[in-house]
Structure 1
Amino acid sequence: MSKRNFDEARSLLDEALSAEAENFEAKYTLAVLNRAEGQIDQAKALLKALVEEKPDFGRGFQELGLCELALKQEPAAISAFERAVEVDGSLIESWKFLAAAYRRKGDSRAEQAVMQVEFLASLPQELRTVISYLAANRLGDAERLCRYFMQQNKTHVEGMRLMAEIATRTGVFDDAEFLLETVMELAPDHIEAEVQLAHVLLRRQRFHKAHKRVKAIYERDKNPSSQVQALYASVCFGVGENDEAIKTYQEMIRVSPNDPQLRVSLAHIYNATGESPKAVDLFKQAYGLKPDFGDAFWSLANTKSYRFTGAELAAMTECVNAPSTPQIDKTQMQFALGKAYEDSKDYDTAFSHYQAGNTLKRETSNHSKEQLDIRISTQLDVCTAELFERLKDVGHNAPDPIFILGLPRAGSTLLEQILASHSKVDGTMELHDILDLAKRLRGRDKASDPSPRYPRILEELPTERFAQFGQQFIEDTRAYRGTAPYFIDKMPNNFFHIGLIKLILPNAKVIDARRHPMACCFSGYKQLFGEGQEFSCGLEEIGNYYRQYVDLMNHWDEVLPGFVLRVQHEDVIADLEGQVRRILDFCGLEFEESCVEFHKTKRTVRTPSAEQVRQPINKSGVDQWCNFESHLDPLKHALGPDILEAYGITPPA
């Protein structure tokens, strides 16, 4: 086509489409050819179908923009180019047009567009391609190309930043942090790298470290960008400076009143701090600004108490059926619709929406049953009674931590609220420190490695390392504590690492928050988690995960008798004071009435149960799963006969 040999090109495309009528790239190339030959209407028709099929297809929007330019429809062209760079920041031709258009209109965004053009023009073509791969979520291709480039250009700052972005996207936060720290050493004034590093620290819940960096940026920049301001508000919220976070978001909303994301971000703070009416009002304002903003609708549903109106149901239904609605928004609205129909007792329709949401969610899930099997089996093989006897009391002797773990939606937030209501216990959050330590011990072994370095390395470490790890945990988590002698780490996934916890902190307390398997699993299935918990998007997957969790917890009971206290959620509901006394006795704490009146404790709660734990105990959620039982045979099959029998659950048909 570069030689304008259009006839030959069209012939090749006809062959490709005859062999595979739905060949996406061939259809896109045909659209480009149509535009080049002046067949603009045909090109637009093809492109509109392509971007409806893939709303994140940046090149398609760029080509649509070029079609609109050919028709002298500048407003439509601007809209298309804006959408193009929104989904793929590497599209330099779109940025060039926008820079020129914004300049002509006196739009303040011209400067940013010019900077982006200059930045992209300065990059080697390989790195522009990496950016495009990242936009298309082709992480494997992005990593391979970026690694190849970095082998030839070992200290290329932008290459290192892209490698850090890839590491962040794949959850290797240690590598991302290291790469960005290195960039900051090579280029101390690289503001974008410093902001990127702060985002990584936030993802790792290193709030205080992130706060220090971002506050320094914020204070030295007399006119911080909106990105820096939003980051500053996030880190302030992370370290408990809620008033400062609220003030920052309010000022940003004043300056940018049409930005729906700012309202949602502010609403989440209000929801976490118990000001639900303010949160609800802001969520509704957000979808008023952007009618297909799935995050606003799901956030309303996720308060657990909001009830959608008929108009809101109709609006969400229209959006999930619209081809132009981005997939993430469709996913969020499917879960919100599920909650809405469940509230109205239309359980079959509710389930259809939960199922649709999980189907969309599964498309981006990396959960692997095989990898879960490896994680469980290696813990069973390595963490034996003999290991713990040989390494008895080698860890740090601090009694401070109380770990509450188990599966999500099992009642752990309630247990945390009960304990955090005690005068000698600080509530914190779901701390990542144990998970991060396990990742460091695993090294560069892949999750699919049949014999991973961790936990095998526990048999080989010098004994003094365990005490060092324990002391480091105490020091690193001190920033999240108040003045109480004990504190809670409520990371549910720590159940994988109870052996590690015992070795580094032998005097810690561990509480297993357990819930009826059908109730727990279905509650997880209908919950759209922000990140992680990818096993929850299928009934078979979540049932298998629960069964494996039970097997591992049984193992911990066998090799570490008495180290873990199991607290059944239904028992807490039935006998609150009795279970509170049992928990406090296990933790070596005197009974305090405030633990029974936990709902009166004012503190920030960042989980989906935030509003529920501010209410007295009620039984409303105990048997909700029964309303959906006709749909749950795959879950029952996955749980297996032993668990079904233990809980008296009717076997699947």
Structure 2
Amino acid sequence: MPTLPRAQRANPIQQAYEQVVVTMRSGDLPEAEQMCRRALISYPRDPNLMCLTGELCLRLRRPQEAITWFGRVLEMLPGYPRALEGKGKSLLAEKRPNKAVNVLRAAAEKLPDRVNTHLALGRALMMAGKRDEAATVMEHALALDPGRAAVTRASDALQEGRTQEAEKTLREYLQQNPDDPIALRLLSQIAMDKQRRRAAVRLLKRAVEVAPDFVLAWNNLAEVQMKEEQYEGALESVGRAIALDPRQPQAWSVKGNILSRAQRHEEALQAFDTALKFAEAHSGALSSKGHVLKTIGRTDEAIGCFRQCIRDHPQFGEPYWSLANLKTFSFDPDEVKVMEDLVQREELQDESRVNILYALGKHYENQHEYDRAFGHYQSGAGLRRQQEVYDPVQNQVVHDRNIEVFSGPFLAEREGQGNLDDAPILVVGLPRSGSTLIEQILASHSMIEGTMELPDLGRCIRAVSRARKDKVEYPEAARDLAGEDLRALGQRYLDTTQRYRSGKPYFIDKMPNNFSNLGFLHQILPNAKVINARRHPLDSCLGSYKQLFYNGQSYTYDFFELGQYYLQYQRIMDHWHEVMPGKILDVHYEDVVRDQEGQTRRMLEYIGAPFEDQCLRFWETERAINTASSEQVRKPIYTKGLNFWKHYEHHLGELIEILEPLLKDLPPEDRPGSLQ
């Protein structure tokens, strides 16, 4: 076979580097980092790949890790300008301005015309208290390129978590330069971080209006629209990104995620396959494809996807937990050894470490090594808790306000004023309490539609707050709703949930956290049915503690917060039973396991649907299930989950103490030894 002349041969290092840069520009920073790490296996001493990895760590807000990468480069090449700048910025992000000044001075001497370097030096000098010198350096940076300097300063502030400063800088800049697409996109990121999605959509639409070829902004717009469940708009936006660059895997992966969220699973798989055609090791596409396959019951193929992701990205933690989270999967000894070795590595990302620790916890639990399992769960939960924001006092205040507003007299005054449709069946409760099992049993009935965890009731609540001009928020704002308002809100819920239905008389909304808002639900849909999934308090809490959630449920990673949350859940459910007697059906997981037919008949009688034998063979029902219990409910009921907490009892002292008021009322056989 003839070979190309040397000048025409592709430089493999340069090729790998450029592929990472393209992925970065598409906005997929985690994937770009995985690509960098994979390239460094082949080219471990390439300074530019090492610097690029450090820059990605910094952009992903892991400055300590970034310092390590830049330090390695400087050990090989002292005075390398790119590494000096990167290390200086990382030190700055670590709030170590004096050290940052020394490093950035050296970088600025070598890069006298680089705006970013001088801006970083000016920031370091300001933080170090050298204000006069800082002002001189900043003036020099602004003189080099005024517009770019402002946007760069905002980007750096955003990267370092100084969101307020970044927003102020961008707004001031956009007053003079309203059509700068990069600044518009950066401001949209801030809006997203603050959960202001509508504002983010407006900013991104403006960005692509003034820069129609801005692929990253089209991708971002599609992702925000997806989160707002504007699926058609999201598909149109990602379609524009694909049209601009049809070989870009990130856009195809985004399209797959949109289609998956829209319950168009087969189309989603096609989109992920297209992404993998252009980047066969794309971690996001592999992992997301695996999740879709799991959701639709193609478990063996899902396992294949997750294992391929591990082969291509051995330090990427998500696929390890995805395998463990199948609940029915077992790791082989070699895989366990790899995971144990990985969690000992200092350079492993925290998020990957958490995923692997939980996977190991599940493995040792399956081997009945409960003490060893708990050690891994505890380590993973402690690390994850550091990344979560949760305020137990605020949670109590929210319940206090709901209880005060939705009193018995208040609900009685408005009885029957909402929309009288009886189609909705809400399954509520805490995670890991049997709600997916209840849903699967009911969804096996010919008259009942199984959907998913729907956000629509929460959106109706937010609409109540948004409608107030006097800044009175929910739940207090609900006091002023007239009958026509209640009917309209009930109709809104029915209209927006219609996309998940196929025409059956009833449908299930399995959003567990709706338990807080049952008074509001009763106002707008008085004939909606509510099934409260209950389980032994220790099994419910321990099950949540052992579950690594993709997002939300921030209270589950600490026993004190978990126990307090359970007490608040019990408190508000007791209130709903008191003010709405007979409206809510409590269904205990233990009762379903011991008497499935009796409990199934009880639920169907409450709903008003005739009994059907198929409900007793729920595992035969083929439907998409997107929860942690998806594989378990595709098998007949088993009893090994009853009182599972006893395997961990001597680790649960803090939780038992908090839950004592509830536990002491249980039968002796269901109480911990300390309460006998």
Would you say the 8 A contact 1:284–1:296 is kept in 2? yes
Q: In structure 2, do the counterparts of structure 1 residues 476 and 168 end up closer, same or farther at CA, with 3 Å as the change threshold?
A: same
Q: CA deviation at 1:69?
A: 7.5
- The CA distance in 2 between the partners of 1:258 and 1:603, in whole Å, is 29
| 2:257 counterpart letter in structure 1 | S
Q: CA deviation at 1:570?
A: 0.7
| 1:243 counterpart letter in structure 2 | E
Instruction: Supply the RMSD in Å over aligned alpha carbons.
Output: 3.5
Instruction: Find the counterpart in structure 1 of residue 256 from structure 2.
Output: 233
Does residue 273 of structure 2 align to residue 250 of structure 1?
yes
- The CA distance in 1 between the partners of 2:457 and 2:418, in whole Å, is 14
Does residue 635 of structure 2 align to residue 615 of structure 1?
yes
- The CA distance in 2 between the partners of 1:284 and 1:122, in whole Å, is 49
- The CA distance in 1 between the partners of 2:569 and 2:386, in whole Å, is 24
The share of aligned pairs that are identical, in percent, is 31
Does residue 659 of structure 2 align to residue 636 of structure 1?
no
Q: CA deviation at 1:65?
A: 7.4
Q: CA deviation at 1:458?
A: 0.6
Q: In structure 2, do the counterparts of structure 1 residues 62 and 356 end up closer, same or farther at CA, with 3 Å as the change threshold?
A: closer
Instruction: Find the counterpart in structure 2 of residue 426 from structure 1.
Output: 449
Equivalent residue for 2:74, pick from 67, 78, 97: 67
Does residue 251 of structure 2 align to residue 214 of structure 1?
no
Does residue 371 of structure 2 align to residue 348 of structure 1?
yes
Give the secondary structure class of the aligned counterpart of 1:604. coil
Equivalent residue for 2:167, pick from 117, 139, 146: 146
Instruction: Find the counterpart in structure 1 of residue 518 from structure 2.
Output: 498
Q: In structure 2, do the counterparts of structure 1 residues 611 and 70 end up closer, same or farther at CA, with 3 Å as the change threshold?
A: same
- The CA distance in 2 between the partners of 1:395 and 1:388, in whole Å, is 11
- The CA distance in 2 between the partners of 1:177 and 1:505, in whole Å, is 31
- The CA distance in 2 between the partners of 1:432 and 1:379, in whole Å, is 19
- The CA distance in 1 between the partners of 2:310 and 2:556, in whole Å, is 27
Q: In structure 2, do the counterparts of structure 1 residues 444 and 163 end up closer, same or farther at CA, with 3 Å as the change threshold?
A: farther
| 1:145 counterpart letter in structure 2 | A
Equivalent residue for 1:195, pick from 207, 219, 223: 219
Q: In structure 2, do the counterparts of structure 1 residues 127 and 408 end up closer, same or farther at CA, with 3 Å as the change threshold?
A: farther
| 2:549 counterpart letter in structure 1 | F
Instruction: Find the counterpart in structure 1 of residue 428 from structure 2.
Output: 405
Q: In structure 2, do the counterparts of structure 1 residues 234 and 346 end up closer, same or farther at CA, with 3 Å as the change threshold?
A: same
Instruction: Find the counterpart in structure 1 of residue 598 from structure 2.
Output: 578
Would you say the 8 A contact 2:425–2:506 is kept in 1? yes
| 2:567 counterpart letter in structure 1 | R
Give the secondary structure class of the aligned counterpart of 2:530. strand
Equivalent residue for 1:386, pick from 385, 389, 409: 409
Instruction: Find the counterpart in structure 2 of residue 168 from structure 1.
Output: 192
Q: CA deviation at 1:72?
A: 10
Q: Given the two structures, how large is their TM-score scaled by the length of structure 1? A: 0.79
Q: CA deviation at 1:232?
A: 0.9
| 1:223-372 pair list within 5 angstroms | 223=246, 225-372=248-395
Give the secondary structure class of the aligned counterpart of 2:665. helix
Does residue 647 of structure 2 align to residue 599 of structure 1?
no
Would you say the 8 A contact 2:151–2:183 is kept in 1? yes
Q: In structure 2, do the counterparts of structure 1 residues 623 and 194 end up closer, same or farther at CA, with 3 Å as the change threshold?
A: same
| Cα-to-partner distance string for 1:249-269 (whole Å, 9 max, x where unaligned) | 223223312333322111111
| Cα-to-partner distance string for 1:355-376 (whole Å, 9 max, x where unaligned) | 0001110111111111111111
Give the secondary structure class of the aligned counterpart of 2:427. strand
Equivalent residue for 2:552, pick from 500, 507, 532: 532
| 1:505 counterpart letter in structure 2 | L
Does residue 663 of structure 2 align to residue 649 of structure 1?
no
Q: CA deviation at 1:558?
A: 0.8
| 2:371 counterpart letter in structure 1 | D
| 1:285 counterpart letter in structure 2 | Q
- The CA distance in 1 between the partners of 2:666 and 2:159, in whole Å, is 48
Q: CA deviation at 1:500?
A: 1.3
- The CA distance in 2 between the partners of 1:72 and 1:258, in whole Å, is 35
Would you say the 8 A contact 1:636–1:644 is kept in 2? no
Q: Given the two structures, how large is their TM-score scaled by the length of structure 2? A: 0.76
| Cα-to-partner distance string for 1:494-543 (whole Å, 9 max, x where unaligned) | 11111111111112111111111100100000000000000000111111
| 1:586 counterpart letter in structure 2 | Y
| Cα-to-partner distance string for 1:547-595 (whole Å, 9 max, x where unaligned) | 1001000101111112211111111111111111111111111111111
| 2:513 counterpart letter in structure 1 | N
Instruction: Find the counterpart in structure 2 of residue 460 from structure 1.
Output: 480
Give the secondary structure class of the aligned counterpart of 1:597. helix
Q: CA deviation at 1:127?
A: 3.9
Instruction: Find the counterpart in structure 2 of residue 106 from structure 1.
Output: none
Aligned length: 566
- The CA distance in 2 between the partners of 1:541 and 1:332, in whole Å, is 21
Query: For structure 1, which segment, 296-305 or 242-251, has the greater mean C-alpha deviation from structure 2 after superposition?
Result: 242-251
Q: In structure 2, do the counterparts of structure 1 residues 130 and 563 end up closer, same or farther at CA, with 3 Å as the change threshold?
A: farther
Q: In structure 2, do the counterparts of structure 1 residues 289 and 130 end up closer, same or farther at CA, with 3 Å as the change threshold?
A: same
| Cα-to-partner distance string for 1:171-201 (whole Å, 9 max, x where unaligned) | 4445444544565667666543332232123
- The CA distance in 2 between the partners of 1:124 and 1:464, in whole Å, is 53
Would you say the 8 A contact 1:211–1:239 is kept in 2? no
- The CA distance in 1 between the partners of 2:545 and 2:324, in whole Å, is 15
| 1:567 counterpart letter in structure 2 | V
Would you say the 8 A contact 2:250–2:275 is kept in 1? no
| 1:314 counterpart letter in structure 2 | K
Instruction: Find the counterpart in structure 2 of residue 100 from structure 1.
Output: none
Instruction: Find the counterpart in structure 2 of residue 546 from structure 1.
Output: 566
Q: In structure 2, do the counterparts of structure 1 residues 174 and 596 end up closer, same or farther at CA, with 3 Å as the change threshold?
A: farther
Q: In structure 2, do the counterparts of structure 1 residues 252 and 367 end up closer, same or farther at CA, with 3 Å as the change threshold?
A: same
| 2:671 counterpart letter in structure 1 | I
Instruction: Find the counterpart in structure 1 of residue 494 from structure 2.
Output: 474
Instruction: Find the counterpart in structure 1 of residue 14 from structure 2.
Output: none
Equivalent residue for 2:155, pick from 117, 128, 131: 131
Would you say the 8 A contact 2:536–2:643 is kept in 1? no
Q: CA deviation at 1:444?
A: 12
- The CA distance in 1 between the partners of 2:164 and 2:227, in whole Å, is 20
| Cα-to-partner distance string for 1:85-112 (whole Å, 9 max, x where unaligned) | xx99xxxx9xxx9xxxxxxxxxxxxxxx
Q: CA deviation at 1:626?
A: 1.0
Query: For structure 1, which segment, 328-337 or 127-136, has the greater mean C-alpha deviation from structure 2 after superposition?
Result: 127-136
Query: For structure 1, which segment, 396-405 or 189-198, has the greater mean C-alpha deviation from structure 2 after superposition?
Result: 189-198
| Cα-to-partner distance string for 1:284-305 (whole Å, 9 max, x where unaligned) | 1111111111101101100001
Instruction: Find the counterpart in structure 1 of residue 538 from structure 2.
Output: 518
Q: In structure 2, do the counterparts of structure 1 residues 270 and 512 end up closer, same or farther at CA, with 3 Å as the change threshold?
A: same
Instruction: Find the counterpart in structure 2 of residue 33 from structure 1.
Output: none
Does residue 440 of structure 2 align to residue 417 of structure 1?
yes
Query: For structure 1, which segment, 428-437 or 346-355, has the greater mean C-alpha deviation from structure 2 after superposition?
Result: 428-437
Q: CA deviation at 1:212?
A: 4.7
- The CA distance in 2 between the partners of 1:307 and 1:244, in whole Å, is 30
- The CA distance in 1 between the partners of 2:461 and 2:411, in whole Å, is 17
| Cα-to-partner distance string for 1:181-238 (whole Å, 9 max, x where unaligned) | 56566766654333223212333444455335434654x4462522211111111222
Q: In structure 2, do the counterparts of structure 1 residues 62 and 123 end up closer, same or farther at CA, with 3 Å as the change threshold?
A: farther
| 2:167 counterpart letter in structure 1 | C
Give the secondary structure class of the aligned counterpart of 1:645. coil
Would you say the 8 A contact 1:441–1:457 is kept in 2? yes
